[in-house]
Amino acid sequence: MKPLLGPTPALLAITVVLATIISFPVARCQDTSPYDICRQSVQCGDIDKIEYPFWLSGRPQHCGRPDFQLSCRSDIPMLRLGPVDYRVLKTDSSIHTVTVARNDLWTNLCPQTLYNTTYNTTLFNGNNFGQEDVSLYYGCQGILGVNPLAASFRFSCDFNQTQSDNYFYRTSLINTDTTISSILVQCNSHITVPVDQSWVNRILNATESELKQAMQDGFNLRWTAYNEECDQCVRSGGRCGSSSTSPDQFVCYCASGNFSATCNSVSVDSGGDAGDSKSNSLGIVLAIVGAVIVVFVVVIGCRIFVSRQRRKRHTIKERSKLVRLPVTTEGPEAANDNIEIFIRNYGNLAPKRYKYSEIEKMTNSFLEKLGHGGYGSVTKDNCLMGI
Ligand SMILES: *[C@@H]1O[C@H](CO)[C@@H](O)[C@H](O)[C@H]1NC(C)=O
Ligand SMILES: *[C@@H]1O[C@H](CO)[C@@H](O)[C@H](O)[C@H]1NC(C)=O
Ligand SMILES: *[C@@H]1O[C@H](CO)[C@@H](O)[C@H](O)[C@H]1NC(C)=O
Ligand SMILES: *[C@@H]1O[C@H](CO)[C@@H](O)[C@H](O)[C@H]1NC(C)=O
Ligand SMILES: *[C@@H]1O[C@H](CO)[C@@H](O)[C@H](O)[C@H]1NC(C)=O
């Protein structure tokens, strides 16, 4: 058993270094891979899965697109389009559609500052949902006295004590009705807001609270954010995102890396993201250093082991000269080695004379033990492992 002590420290060192190298890249990937970060679901209020192209402030922008930033305010996800904040009520990635409602009209139909519903039509498209604009007219003095019909479309404002009438009407019908249009031109200002398809036919019969409800139900917008590319990326197992260095560019983040379209298509070069390329090269350097250490340890270990073996064999040979063996010429070469091993192990005992037949018996039985022992195979494996 004594010879086993030789390779044990080397074996231990190799194990430790290998374990470090194997576990190191795994830990790194879990921490920084955009694939892992972007697939974590992010929640804000009722929206429990904020995903591409949207991204919450505080999360990496490359998990979404620059124009689709959301902010979570009092558990309400807000999307800013132009000067107005919109509450995000629902998103549906399968049809690339978001349902939004104007935050400034949520509780009060009369905001301090009036804005139309405007959005970048390159990014959002409100057509093909069957929804229609409703016009809200503000500061219309004395119309009710002129035309009692207008009472049906009247709504009041909560702010200021000043008497002013306000009216709403389906935008597309204003110009078809000359009476209405001649009344509404006298108002100070107006804005238009889309309402859902379900409201289109009943909005003109709606009460003021129903008008409020229609505003809170919101309207749909279909987003344009590399939709086709994203669908294909998701189908291939990836997560859609944008390049952190050139945000206009689409990137498909996969477990196997960054790709321009689908997982395992054309790989995207990180292009010099300072922080990441630094940590990447640090990882490579550490891996190389680790590998060098492993090889070094293995080589040194093997060397020490081999030289130790040689020294042992040498001393055994020296000793074997002292031990008088009954047979030196007759026995086969193998027998000599066996005897040496035998003597090495029994060398501490006082020299004794043995008959050749006795030695042969003992040696054979010892040979068997050696053959099954871990010593020989451990040595071999150690050296092979390093190569
Ligand atoms: C709409 O968005 C696109 C993409 O971000 C941008 O290039 C364009 O200038 C925007 N248009 C307007 C009118 O803001
Ligand atoms: C409300 O009153 C303030 C002054 O009290 C005035 O500046 C503001 O324009 C009024 N708003 C409307 C919509 O009339
Ligand atoms: C809203 O847009 C209409 C035209 O679509 C315009 O006449 C109106 O002045 C705009 N309202 C505001 C508050 O800008
Ligand atoms: C609802 O509004 C339509 C006009 O869009 C009108 O013709 C109809 O009479 C109204 N119905 C009721 C019950 O007021
Ligand atoms: C992958 O994309 C992320 C985010 O854009 C970037 O930080 C990283 O460097 C990229 N990795 C490679 C290997 O290009």
| Mean pLDDT of the region 28-43 | 78
For residue 280, the ligand closest to its alpha carbon is 5
- Interatomic CA distance for residues 369 and 65, integer angstroms: 70
pLDDT, tens digit, for every residue of 312-330? Answer: 776 655 555 554 544 444 4
Burial 107-144 (b: 16+ CB within 10 A, else e): eebbbeeeeebebeeebbbbeebebbbbbbbbbbeebe
DSSP-assigned states of every residue in 115-134: ------TTTEE-TTS--EEE
- Per-residue tokens: 113: 């500052």
Domain residue spans of the chain: 2-22+276-386, 109-219
**What DSSP letter does each residue of 239-272 carry, written as one string?**
EEEE-SSSTTSEEEEETTEEESSSTTSSBPP---
Residue 206 corresponds to which amino acid?
A: A
CB of 204 closer than 6 angstroms to any ligand 4 atom: yes
H-type helices in 154-226, by residue range? 171-174, 178-184, 197-200, 208-217
Which residue's alpha carbon is nearest to atom 1 within ligand 5?
A: 258
pLDDT digits (tens, 9 = 90+) for 198-243: 999 999 999 999 999 999 999 999 999 999 999 999 999 999 999 9
CA 124/CA 140 separation, integer angstroms: 33
Q: What is the pLDDT of residue 386?
A: 35
CA 367, 371, 375 angle in degrees (round to 5)? Answer: 110
pTM for the model stands at 0.66
Q: How many CB atoms lie within 10 A of CB 302?
A: 17
Cα Dmax for the chain: 140
Q: Which of 188, 197, 198 is nearest to 167 (CA)?
A: 188
Q: Which one of 140, 158, 162 would you pick to mutate in the ligand 2 pocket, going by the greatest count of ligand atoms within 8 A of its CB?
A: 162
For residue 295, the model assigns a pLDDT of 63
Element (H, E) at 276: helix 274-322
Judge whether residue 100 has pLDDT over 70: yes
Q: Specify the pLDDT at position 27.
A: 44
Residue 220 pairs in a beta bridge with 99
pLDDT digits (tens, 9 = 90+) for 132-144: 999 999 988 777 7
- Separation between Cα atoms, residue 303 and residue 120, nearest integer Å: 72
* pLDDT above 60 (res 249): yes
> Using a 6 Å cutoff on CB, does residue 122 contact ligand 1?
yes
Pairing of strands 165-170, 154-155: antiparallel
Q: Which of 205, 207, 210, 211 to mutate to test the pocket of ligand 4 (most atoms within 8 A of CB)?
A: 205
User: Residue 373 has what pLDDT?
Assistant: 40
Give the three-class secondary structure for 167.
strand
Task: Write out the H or E segment, with its range, that includes residue 308.
Answer: helix 274-322
State the DSSP code for 62. G
- Strands (E) located in 33-94: 42-44, 47-50, 55-56, 69-73, 76-81, 84-92
CA of 229 from ligand 5 middle (Å) equals: 18
